Structures are given as structure tokens and as C-alpha cells.
Structure 1
Amino acid sequence: MTSPGQTTDKPAQLAAAGPEQASRSARGLSMATAVSLGLRLLGMAVGMATNSVLARYLNPDGFGVFALALTLGTAAAQVADMGTTITVSSRIAREKASAGRILSTGLVIRTSVALVVTLGLLVAAAGGLFGGSSSVIGVVAIATPLSAASILTAGATARFRPEVSSVLALIQGVLWLVAVVTIARTGGDVVLLAWFFVAVVVVQTGIGVMINRRLVPLGRPSWAEAGRIFALSWPLAISALAVMAYYRLGSVILFHLQGAAEVGYYSAAYKFLDVAQLGPAMLVAPLLPIVATSAAMDAHRRKLVLSLAARTGAVIGVGTAVLLIALAPALVTFLYGDDFGPAVTPLILLAVAFVGVTLGYVGTTICSALGVVRPIAVLTVAVAVVNLAAQFWACARWGATGAAAVAAGTEFVIGTATCLLAARAMTSRLPVRQMASVLLLGALTVLVLWLVRLPWPVEAGLAAGLFGTAVLAARAITLADLRRVLSPKAL
């Protein structure tokens, strides 16, 4: 993976950037991003191995119960964030002298809200709102306040250090794999598994705090800083609630309408989507601080940044979708076993959704870095209302397949709309022709794979080769782009 762009190297901008940022070149950032991608790929392999052990040990019903608990725990963490992390990262990129005070204030905000959200989840679980999953959800909820420390990676992001969050994710993945294998071999139940999950989060949090001390030492929290963070983040908080509603609550609706087994199939398919997000995550890690300081760029440079980010996002999203569609039956059978055969169709639909997910990463990151967040909030709230209504209808009729179809439509709308908003925020134009050509090439590649049935290793190689060659031939990504991101000039 390469950086989506670079800022101008004018002396005045370097002086304003400070010594640490000024010393980072486009090539250095690209190398750091490549290292980060390698770590994420290793983490992806670890994560899929973990899910394989979990699914085979718990079977569809048990896997569905535990997946619902993790889904709600993740949703609680997203709600607790309230847009604080991306706001803090953007401000640190622009206001380096106040970095410690900004980061510590963000940590206090995130932890305080996480405690409130955790209390609400514990009360709901104690009241039996989630049926047989309530006890597991109650344990997993304990990890929510601990996960608030993940905001510390905002400092690393602002300092152009994307590899830090990758290291932490890999550490968590390895520890979680060890915990899952231990439970499977000793015959522990799902509640003990949840306690192991909390322990892993505790260890990861401690390591994250130690790493952060070398990057952005914490300062004294400030009420004034809290006011500034809230002024920028409240639309993102509303957006986070809406995203949580359409991104995570589909599993809850499916659980109540179709039962744990259907949640198991849907969650098994969604795990691939969660893991695949390492691609867009690597893209937006350097994109955020670049865009946050783009006010000093000329129009041509802003156009280059937007164009490269959008084209790279399209290639990552469509390329990943093509591979997931080609490998869906083999992946599900290999990782989860024959019992999870019904997860294949949802996985194909979620692969289509991933295109929108990736474009949404690009558009939302650019808008958030520039403070253009109210339109994002309006968009996500409107989409969430439509999504939830559609989920009740689709889940009742088609179960996991219906939930995946609604997710695909939702993500396409979000991805397209946020990219349009990002172009307006950058006062530039999207590379519509190149992005459309990538989508068309992906569709043609899938069509060829459906017409020519081959063994899955051959099919995977054919998919990658066809799509990669077509992207280069269509000049969606060019040699000039590679020269830009490998430039030795300082950012």
C-alpha cells in the first residue's frame, strides 16, 4: 500500500510543520505504511485462524451468541468515541505545541463516556434484554472503558506513524488467538471466553499506553480543550450513533427475528469484511494528517491528493471484492467447516458492500479532517433510518442473506455520498471516469470467473491477474502516482 498523496514542500509549510513532521518524506511515509500493511496482513491471518477455531468449537449457535456480544461491545466503543479520536488526531496534526493537552483531554472524554455506555449495556444485560447472550454481553461490556485508551493512537496518526496502531492490533490478535486455543483445548464455556477477551484488552491497553509515552506524552486535561473538541466532534458523535445503528444493530435485529444460527452465518461472513478493512485503514492513516494540513496547498496539489486517494480507494475496494467473491465458497468451508455453508451467499453480498465501505473511509476521513462534519451527520442519520426499516423487512424474509443485501445497498450510498462531500470540501473534482472504469473492470472480472469454473487457487490467481492488469491498462493507477508516493521530498 502506498500513501494517497503528499503535501507541497514549500519552505514556509515545512517551517510551520515542526521538526518531526518536516523530516518525514513521502517515501518514508510510504515505507511506514507498507510496514503497517505487512503487520495488518499478518494480523489478518491470525484473526482468520482465531475465527476458524472459534466457529468450529462453538458451532453456529454458540458462535452467533459470542459474535453478538462482540458486536454490541464494539458498538458501545463506537458510541463512546463520539468522533473524539478523529477530531483529536486532526487537531494534533495542526496544533503540535498543544498535542499533549489535546490528547489527554480526549482520553478523559472518551473514558468518561465509555463508562456511561458500559453502565447502560450492563443494565440491559442484567435485565435479560439479549436472552441467552446477556451473561456473555455483560462480561464483554467490561472491556469498553478499557478500549477508550485506543484514542492514544490518534497521536501516532497525527505524527505520520501508521505502524503503531498496526503493532497494537497484531499484539491483540496474537493474544486473542492464544486465549481462544486455550479455551478450545480445555473445554471452557463461552462466558470464560468472554473473560479472556477482557484480559486481552487489558494487556493491549497497557502496551498502548507505554508506546504512546514515546510519541505524544500526555499533558494536563483542560476544560477549554474539551469545549473545542466537543464543538468539532458533536456532529461526528451523531454520525457515530447512526453508523452504529446500521453497521452493528443488524445482528441484533437478525437475532430477534431468526435466532442465533442465522447470526452465526451472518457474523461468519462479516468477519471477512471486518478483516478486509485493513486495506482502507492503511489508506486513510496517512491521508488524515495530510488533509488536515491541506489549507496551505494550492488547488493542483489538493486535486492530486483527492484524486489519488479516491482512485486508490476504488482499486482496494473493488479488488478485494473480486477476490472475496471468487473465493467465497472455499473460504467459508476452509475456515468454518461445512456447517457454515449458508454463509457463502451473505459473504458474496458483503463483498459488494466492501466497495462502498472503502469509498466511505476515504470520503469520511477527508470531510472529518477538514471539519466538514455536519453534512456527514445528516447523511448517516437519514441512511440509518432507512437501513433499520429495511433490515426488519429483509431479515424476516431472507435471514442473513437479507441482512447482507441491505448492508450492500447502505454502504454504496454512504460511500458515494461521502466522496462527493469530500470533493466539495477539497474544492476539487473526483476522478469519476477512472473510478467508474475500476467498477466496470471489477464487474467484468467477476463475470469471467462465473463463466469459467476452475479450482479455487487457479481462480484466485486469475482474478488477481485479470483485475490488476485491467487496472494498469485503464490507467486507474499510473507510474506517476508511484513516483509521487516514493518521492524523497519532505512532506
Structure 2
Amino acid sequence: MPTGLITAGVLTRRLGPEGYGLFTLASVLVAWLEWTLTSLFERTTIKFAREVEDWPSFCTAIAQLHLGLGCLMGLLLAALAAPLGAAFHEPSLAGYLQLYALDIPIFCLAYAQRQLLIGRGEFRERAIASASRWTARFLLITLLLLNGFSIYGAIWGTIGASLIELGVGRQFIQPAIFARSTFPIRKLFDYAVPLFLFAAILRCYDKLDLIMLKLLDGSAAQMGIYSAAQNLAFVPSLFAMSFSPLLLSVLSQTLREENWPKAQHIERNALRLTVILLPFVALAAGSANAIVGLVYGAEFLPAATLLALLLLGALALVSISIATAILTAIGRPKLTLWAVSPLLPVSLVGYGLVIPHWGSVGAALVSVATATLGAALSLGLVYHQCRVLPPLGTGLRALGISAVLYAVASQWIAPDSMFIFKFCLLGGMTPLGFLLLGECDRRELQSLRAWILSTLGRINQRSS
């Protein structure tokens, strides 16, 4: 997460609003293709990885599917780059997309390795591969921009980061890309189709506000401002991208062992976690002006209002991600489609009505409203299937803490040199507030105490 924010700061300062807007538009289009392709088999791969007997053949099938689809999509994007540039009234976009097309097959294969690692419970290895990508992306993009390579340099840096993640991932898992697989692909598709449609809808929805803003009301500079806010609001989604696959893997294994009480406990705590995140979102929303100024500079301060709104929508998307992971784990993949199916038509109508009058603020408001609708539907489906909801007490505590944090953060104006101290101080008070308000039961307090003692013991050992 820190490297992503620092990279965004470097990009905005080196490219300016217009250049950053063009880079973001190209990145959004490519990222939508990449994430849609990888989402086709993501949850299916994680679930099947716990059950298959012929593991090498399964790995080969997953790797070949991702690489093949990535190559086809890369060729298609390169062919359509010029028409897309004309459609967005940005002729220079064509060259950026043609270069970016090289990243698609590399990214897809690297992500396939990531899915296989999660499916086998190798979470540490998956984290190392993912961290290598973000670190390499920051270093390569910064180096190339400082040497005057502009937008093309940022794209080459992204491609290089995908190659590094691919290489690091292959240190932990080596699917035979060119071997013959005996795994029945039809079995994979039978389960994957509803999950693919679910993921495709979410990916279309994810950046639809930015694209509609460009088509209806936006210049490249406006897109740069809006995308700057989007990039900061993406932080909760990074948590969901990391947590939901782990939840799916652990919950699937628990259900396979028929440990029903433990499974329900996991489901309830996962939903509880989405509520506990609310105060942190409130803190960031109250500090929006300071965050935007620190990361992007004064030129991007109009993004602060958008950031405060988009953070709420991002939290709703976290709820959707966690709730649908639960539905997938319990063997109800078709219900994930029901949870998100209204998002596209409702948001399209909303953007069409609101953006011409309210501009970027209207786009953000529609995004928040539709994401909240999807979260409500997802939680309702989980309750219908599992009879679990986020605890009411946790929700009331979270609302109270959020109100206090937002008020303090928005009124406490600290210089840039003190902002990080202020943010960490208020953020550190959040778990303390939950503890003082009685959020944790006796067993959780005992676990927390044991973890603290264990951590202190390790620190003492290292210091001695």
C-alpha cells in the first residue's frame, strides 16, 4: 500500500493532471481486461485447489488458460487501440494501449501463480510475490520518469513489475506451461461461469464512473483529478483483494471438514471486520484535504471532496467482496451474480442523469449509492443462506467512533510534517476505542494478550 501511494505521488508530480489522466485512462482499460480475465477462474481455482488429486495437471491447466486468454486479449487490444483512441477523443491513447497490451499475458500468468499459492494455503509466498510487484513498480516507474520517459516510461515500468512478480512467483510454484494437462476443463467452467459473470460485472462497474465522466463531461485534466481520488480510495479494495481469497480458502477447508460451528464463527467475524473498518474510513475522509495535498500536491486539492465520497463506496465494495466469498465457499456461486446484477443498469442510468448536472461529484455520489445497494443485497443473501449478520453492537460502536474520528480529523489542521503523526495517533486510538467500549469478548482478549506477549518475547530475543 505505501509503495502504491508513493508511486501515485510521483506520477502526478511528473505528469501533471492531463498526463496523469491519459496514463490513468490507459491503465483503467488494461486493468479492466486483466482483472476480468483473471477473475474468470480466481475463486474457482482457490476452491478446487483444496479438492483436486492431480495437483500438477491442475496447475498446468490453470496456467495455460490464463496465458492463452491473456495472449488473445493482448492481440485484440493492440488491434483496437486506434479506434479506442478515437472514441475517447485522445489520439495519443492508441500508442499507449498498444504498448500496454504486452502486459496482459504476463500479468495473467503471474496472477494464475498467485491463485494457486492461495489455494494451497501458501499465503506467505503469495504475499512475497505480490509485494515484489508493487515494490518493483515503484522503483521502475520512478527511475524511468526521472530519466524523462514520461507516460511510456510509466507503462514500461508496469510491464517490468509484472515480469518480476512472475519470476518471484515461479520460485514457489512452477506450473508446466507447455505440458499436456489431463484435468477436465469442463468441470472448471461449470463452476466458473457464474463467478466469471459476477467478476465481469464488478470490473465493468469498478471504473465505469471514470469512463462515463470522460464521455459525458470530462477533460483529461478532470479525469486526472478524479482518478487521483480513485487511486487513494482504492486502499480498502486492496484489503478486500488480499482478505477475500484467504477467507474463501480457509472457509472452504472448514466446510469440507464439516465443522459447522467454526464455519459460522468465521463467517460472522468476516462480516464483523467490514464494520470495524468504518472508523478508519471516517478518519481518512476527515483528513482528505491533508492526504491529497501530501500525496499529490496543491494542484490536485479538488480531489479531496471526491476522495471522501469514494472511500464510502470502497467500503461498500469490501462488504460485497467478503459476502460473496462466503457465498462461493458454501457452494452458492450463482447467488454472487444476483448480488451484483443491478449495479450496471442502475449506475448507467444514474451517471447519465447526474453527471451532466453535477460533474465529478455527481459521478462519485452515484458510485457510492450503487455500491451501497450491492452491499445490502450481498449481506441479505448471506443472511438468507447462513443466518449470520454483522453484530449490531459492533455497528453501533463503529458509528460512534467514526463520528468522533471524523470530527477530530477534519478540525485538527496539522502541517505536512506532523500529518503522519496525527494520522497514526488517531488511527491507533481506534482499536483502543473498540476495546474500551467492550467490543472483544473474554476469549478474544485472552488471544490478544497472548499475541502481545509472544510479540514482545520475539522482540526481546532479537534485541539480545
Same fold flag (TM > 0.5): yes
**C-alpha distance 301-196 of structure 1, shift in aligned 2 (>3 A):** closer
For the 8 Å contact 2:397–2:434, the answer to whether it is kept is yes
CA shift at 1:142, angstroms? 1.9
Q: Which SS does the other structure have where 2:234 is aligned?
A: helix
1:367 and 2:327 aligned: yes
CA shift at 1:60, angstroms? 0.5
Q: Larger deviation: 436-445 or 385-394?
A: 436-445
Q: Distance in 2 between matches of 1:450 and 1:82?
A: 37
Residue in 2 that maps onto 1:406:
366
Residue in 2 that maps onto 1:175:
136
CA shift at 1:238, angstroms? 1.1
Task: Return the letter of the residue paired with 1:126.
Answer: A
Q: Distance in 2 between matches of 1:369 and 1:60?
A: 43
Q: Distance in 2 between matches of 1:466 and 1:284?
A: 26
Residue in 2 that maps onto 1:57:
14
Task: Return the letter of the residue paired with 1:440.
Answer: L
Residue in 2 that maps onto 1:135:
95
Q: Distance in 2 between matches of 1:224 and 1:101?
A: 6
CA shift at 1:484, angstroms? 6.3
**C-alpha distance 255-175 of structure 1, shift in aligned 2 (>3 A):** same
Residue in 2 that maps onto 1:357:
317
For the 8 Å contact 1:311–1:477, the answer to whether it is kept is no
1:101 and 2:62 aligned: no
Q: Distance in 1 between matches of 2:429 and 2:202?
A: 34
Q: Which SS does the other structure have where 1:210 is aligned?
A: coil
1:467 and 2:424 aligned: no
1:417 and 2:374 aligned: no
For the 8 Å contact 2:21–2:221, the answer to whether it is kept is yes
Q: Which of 414, 428, 439 is the matching residue for 2:387?
A: 428
CA shift at 1:264, angstroms? 0.8
Task: Return the letter of the residue paired with 1:415.
Answer: A
Higher relative contact order structure (alpha carbons within 8 Å, sequence separation ≥ 6): 1
Spell out, residue by residue over 1:74-111, the C-alpha distance to the aligned partner (whole angstroms, 9 max, x if none). Answer: 1001221243021011111233x223222221222222
**C-alpha distance 112-315 of structure 1, shift in aligned 2 (>3 A):** same
1:75 and 2:75 aligned: no
Q: Which SS does the other structure have where 2:50 is aligned?
A: helix
CA shift at 1:474, angstroms? 3.9
Q: Distance in 1 between matches of 2:105 and 2:405?
A: 43
Residue in 1 that maps onto 2:351:
391
Q: Distance in 2 between matches of 1:103 and 1:397?
A: 51
**C-alpha distance 164-248 of structure 1, shift in aligned 2 (>3 A):** farther
The alignment covers a number of residue pairs equal to 440
Residue in 1 that maps onto 2:275:
314
CA shift at 1:230, angstroms? 0.4
Q: Larger deviation: 479-488 or 71-80?
A: 479-488
**C-alpha distance 253-356 of structure 1, shift in aligned 2 (>3 A):** same
Spell out, residue by residue over 1:363-406, the C-alpha distance to the aligned partner (whole angstroms, 9 max, x if none). Answer: 12112223312121133222111112222333333333222222
Residue in 2 that maps onto 1:264:
224
Give the unaligned 5+ runs of structure 1. 1-43
Q: Distance in 2 between matches of 1:114 and 1:482?
A: 47
Q: Distance in 2 between matches of 1:187 and 1:449?
A: 42
Q: Distance in 1 between matches of 2:177 and 2:382?
A: 32
Task: Return the letter of the residue paired with 1:480.
Answer: R
For the 8 Å contact 1:324–1:348, the answer to whether it is kept is yes
1:166 and 2:127 aligned: yes
For the 8 Å contact 1:101–1:218, the answer to whether it is kept is no
TM-score, normalised via structure 1 length: 0.82
Q: Which of 282, 287, 290 is the matching residue for 2:250?
A: 290
**C-alpha distance 457-210 of structure 1, shift in aligned 2 (>3 A):** closer
Q: Larger deviation: 169-178 or 49-58?
A: 169-178
Residue in 2 that maps onto 1:116:
72
CA shift at 1:483, angstroms? 5.2
For the 8 Å contact 2:213–2:360, the answer to whether it is kept is yes
1:444 and 2:400 aligned: no
Q: Distance in 1 between matches of 2:259 and 2:184?
A: 30
The alignment yields a C-alpha RMSD, in angstroms, of 2.7
For the 8 Å contact 1:287–1:365, the answer to whether it is kept is yes
**C-alpha distance 240-443 of structure 1, shift in aligned 2 (>3 A):** same
Residue in 1 that maps onto 2:157:
196
Q: Distance in 2 between matches of 1:92 and 1:147?
A: 20
CA shift at 1:451, angstroms? 7.5
CA shift at 1:247, angstroms? 0.3
**C-alpha distance 57-173 of structure 1, shift in aligned 2 (>3 A):** same
1:274 and 2:237 aligned: no
Q: Distance in 1 between matches of 2:285 and 2:430?
A: 13
CA shift at 1:58, angstroms? 0.3
Q: Which of 89, 94, 98 is the matching residue for 2:46?
A: 89
Spell out, residue by residue over 1:255-287, the C-alpha distance to the aligned partner (whole angstroms, 9 max, x if none). Answer: 223111121111111112223434334433431
Residue in 1 that maps onto 2:460:
none
Task: Return the letter of the residue paired with 2:61.
Answer: T
Q: Distance in 2 between matches of 1:99 and 1:52?
A: 42
Residue in 2 that maps onto 1:125:
81
Task: Return the letter of the residue paired with 1:229.
Answer: L
**C-alpha distance 391-457 of structure 1, shift in aligned 2 (>3 A):** same
Task: Return the letter of the residue paired with 2:237.
Answer: Q
CA shift at 1:346, angstroms? 0.7
Task: Return the letter of the residue paired with 1:193.
Answer: A
